[in-house]
Amino acid sequence: MSMKIEDKLFLDRFKVADESHLRIIDGEKCMAECPDQPCLYLCPANVYRREGDRISVNYEGCLECGSCRIGCPHLNVEWRFPRGGFGISHKFG
Amino acid sequence: MKEAFDVAIVGAGPAGISAACVLADAGIKTIVLERGEYPGAKNVSGGVLYGHDLARIIPDYVERNCPIERNIVESRIWYLSRDAGYSLGYRDSIFATDRKHNAFTVSRAKFDRWYAEQARQKGALVVPGTVVVDLLRSERGDVTGVLTGREDGEVRAKVTLLADGINSPLAALTGFRSEPKPEEVALAVKEVIELPAEVIEQRFGVSSGDGVTTEVLGAIAGGMDSVGIIYTNRSSISLGLGANLADFADYKLKPYELLEAFKEHPMVAPLIADGRPLEYVAHWLTEGGYDAIPELYGDGYLIAGDSAMLFNGLHREGNNLAMASGKMAAETIIEALSRNDVSRTGLAGYGKKLADSYILKDLKKYRKLGGFFYHHKELFDQLPRLATSAGREMITVNGVSKKEKQKIISRNFRRGMPVLKLLRLLWQGWRAVK
């Protein structure tokens, strides 16, 4: 029985900050100039999801790998570290 | 934090903590800033550590209760097609006796915490929960400390050591290292799967406390340039899969779905059967090799470990390069502070130390390897398929003569991969590792 990404993320310990550390700089660009939308594939936490005519950013489950920042062909993702002590805390690592 | 330090270290991983230990031992006032809730909270590795480099920092690490998961006595390499595979292993009793702890597995969340505690006991100040958001610079541009995300967040220091890992927005912001291109990193995902210690020992055929590492190559990630790992911990197995980040975008495959498919491979599934997943993490590995290494020092700063892109993918050595480079950085800082010259010239000894060590020698040796894998996708698709169909044919007893079987295999190979292409692959592969 294949395990879903939601269930994988449920294993992890997150201290979720109120404010997102990820932001799509120009949402229009994703729809108008980015037919492939690789963020939908390469994010290991399924943070980026297509919702109608926009891409939603579900930062709460971010594993903080940085892939969206450099993998976005338009460098359209503003990426900061979550505030100190927030985000994922590995139990095992 | 208005206090001034001799040295500010960004990141409490193996590079930063190794440096902090050496500096604190020399009585140098050192602060380590860690963004995680505790050291190790953000850190990931396959989980193999090497005793040699750790002993050079903490000689009595065993007596000090270093949290070792399993002592590695056997290293395996697998080459898999989608439903079959070859296995090659090397086991040596010397790794259970005279050379015990040559390699051992650790949980980074436990190890890094223990390691940071050693630095604390030596006198370094380790401050978790603190993100470094910028570097402080003098008018001349020398680095004079760091700016943290805390209120009054300036931390002044004579020297700053950047040991903040491979994913560093700080690097991009300050320009001390350019952002990696997607093809210069591999994205790896890893699951830790709980199993009773005795079950692990049975499945891997090892005694209590001993363990096995397995590196997996071949068609395990939909034809992408990829590698898998299966490492034994005390009462869990680390199962990971990494592939070139550019490939994820090109192949439109999702890391977590590939990990699930890997878990179902007939050679993998029995090892983790009935295991309970404990954690799922993701991290980059550098694929850029020697040519991706940035300027390693400048006026008032040095870079060590993953942050300096020091990683030997072929030998899965990263933690030891981080420890060794952290130590060299610290030794250079000690010399520079005693001469009162922390300029680029004063810190130049670091470059020489790295160049004279196994670190840069090894990375130089394999400088073409990353590109070789990336540009030869047949290694991850056609070749494993052909190789396992050959194995299948030779092992099957069905009344067909061996001579005839050889003909069938050779015909399949010629059809699947022209001889010239195969020869070129072998030649370029040899050139990439010689």
Domain tally for chain A? Answer: 1
Amino acid identity of residue B48, one-letter, is V
- Whether A93 is covered by a domain: the verdict is no
Per the CB < 8 A criterion, the answer to whether B170 and B18 are in contact is: no
Q: Which two tokens stand for residue B93?
A: 């009793």
- Whether A87 is covered by a domain: the verdict is no
Which residue has 């954690």 as its token pair?
A: B279
- Whether A91 is covered by a domain: the verdict is no
Residue A1: pLDDT above 80?
A: no
The one-character DSSP state at A66 is -
Amino acid identity of residue B114, one-letter, is W
Chain A contact for B191 (CB, 8 A cutoff)? yes
The C-alpha angle with vertex A50 and arms to A48 and A52, in degrees rounded to 5, equals 150
Average pLDDT, chain B: 95
Per the CB < 8 A criterion, the answer to whether B15 and B323 are in contact is: yes
d(CA A74, CA A93): 31
* Closest Cα in chain A, distance from residue B351 (Å): 28
Report CB contact under 8 Å: B248, A67: yes
- Three-state SS at B94: helix
Chain A contact for B425 (CB, 8 A cutoff)? no
- Whether A25 is covered by a domain: the verdict is yes
Residue B2: pLDDT above 80?
A: no
What number is the ipTM of this complex? Answer: 0.98
Report CB contact under 8 Å: B182, A70: yes
> Could you give the angle at which helices B319-339 and B14-25 cross, rounded to 10 degrees?
40
B-chain residues within 8 Å CB-CB of A81? 35, 131, 169
Q: Which of A8, A41, A90 sits opposite B44 (nearest CB)?
A: A90
Report, as an integer, the average pLDDT of B94-117. 97
Those residues whose C-beta lies under 8 Å from the C-beta of residue B367, and which sit 6 or more positions away, are B289, B290, B291
* Closest Cα in chain B, distance from residue A74 (Å): 12
B-chain residues within 8 Å CB-CB of A82? 131
Whole-number percent of chain B with pLDDT over 70: 100
- Domain of A59 in residue numbering reads as 5-82
- Three-state SS at B99: coil
Instruction: Judge: domain B183-286, CATH 3.40.50.720.
Output: no
* Closest Cα in chain B, distance from residue A55 (Å): 16
Q: Which of B108, B167, B260 sits opposite A2 (nearest CB)?
A: B260
The total of other beta-carbon atoms located within 10 Å of residue B361's CB is 12
Chain A contact for B185 (CB, 8 A cutoff)? yes
Report CB contact under 8 Å: B249, A44: no
- DSSP string across B35-61: -SSSTTTT----SEEEHHHHHTT-TTT
d(CA B409, CA B390): 6
- Whether A88 is covered by a domain: the verdict is no
Report CB contact under 8 Å: A63, B179: no
Chain A contact for B236 (CB, 8 A cutoff)? yes
Report, as an integer, the average pLDDT of B345-369. 94
> Residue B315: its pLDDT value, please?
86
Report, as an integer, the average pLDDT of B269-290. 95
Whole-number percent of chain B with pLDDT over 90: 87
Strands (E), chain A: 14-15, 22-24, 48-51, 54-57, 77-79, 87-88
The one-character DSSP state at B220 is S
Residue of B nearest to A9 (CA): B280
d(CA B434, CA B431): 5
Report CB contact under 8 Å: A87, B192: no
Chain A contact for B173 (CB, 8 A cutoff)? no
Report, as an integer, the average pLDDT of B304-328. 93
d(CA B159, CA B39): 21
Per the CB < 8 A criterion, the answer to whether A88 and A14 are in contact is: yes
Report CB contact under 8 Å: A42, B255: yes
pLDDT tens profile A40-84: 999 999 999 999 999 999 999 999 999 999 999 999 999 999 999
The total of other beta-carbon atoms located within 10 Å of residue A91's CB is 17
Report CB contact under 8 Å: B40, A93: yes
Report CB contact under 8 Å: A92, B279: yes
Report, as an integer, the average pLDDT of B122-135. 97
Report CB contact under 8 Å: A67, B284: yes
Kindly provide the b/e burial profile for residues B57-91, where b requires at least 16 CB atoms within 10 angstroms of the residue's own CB.
bbeebeeeebebbbbbbbbbebbbbbebbbeeeee
Chain B contact for A69 (CB, 8 A cutoff)? yes
d(CA A71, CA A39): 7
- Whether A35 is covered by a domain: the verdict is yes
- Whether A92 is covered by a domain: the verdict is no
d(CA B282, CA B261): 17
User: What is the domain-level CATH number for residue A16?
Assistant: 3.30.70.20
Q: Which two tokens stand for residue B335?
A: 């010399």
Residue B387: pLDDT above 80?
A: yes
The total of other beta-carbon atoms located within 10 Å of residue B348's CB is 15
Facing residues of B155 across strands? Answer: B146
Chain B contact for A9 (CB, 8 A cutoff)? yes
Residue B418: pLDDT above 90?
A: no
- B4-69+106-179+290-356 CATH fold: FAD/NAD(P)-binding domain (3.50.50)
Report, as an integer, the average pLDDT of A22-27. 97
Per the CB < 8 A criterion, the answer to whether B334 and B29 are in contact is: no
> Residue B36: its pLDDT value, please?
97
